[in-house]
Amino acid sequence: MSVIYILLTISIIVAVGFFIAFIIAVKKGQFDDSYTPSVRMLFEDELIKEKPKKTILTKKD
């Protein structure tokens, strides 16, 4: 039973460590996207393909 308490403690310490590392990376701008805004203007005016209009076929005599 004591092994479970040790593993639980270690897993909580590791999780807190990863959380702190994530917070530090976010504050330093690690996840900022500096590439997409400069390229977005190139693809903003893409042509939108129009859907073909449905036609109803009628039977002619």
Q: What is the 3-state secondary structure (H, E, C) of 1-61?
A: CHHHHHHHHHHHHHHHHHHHHHHHHHHCCCCCCCCHHHHHHHHCCCCCCCCCCCCCCCCCC
Please tell me the pTM assigned to this model. Answer: 0.54
Quote the pLDDT of residue 4. Answer: 96
- pLDDT single digits (tens) 3-36: 999 999 999 999 999 999 999 999 998 888 777 7
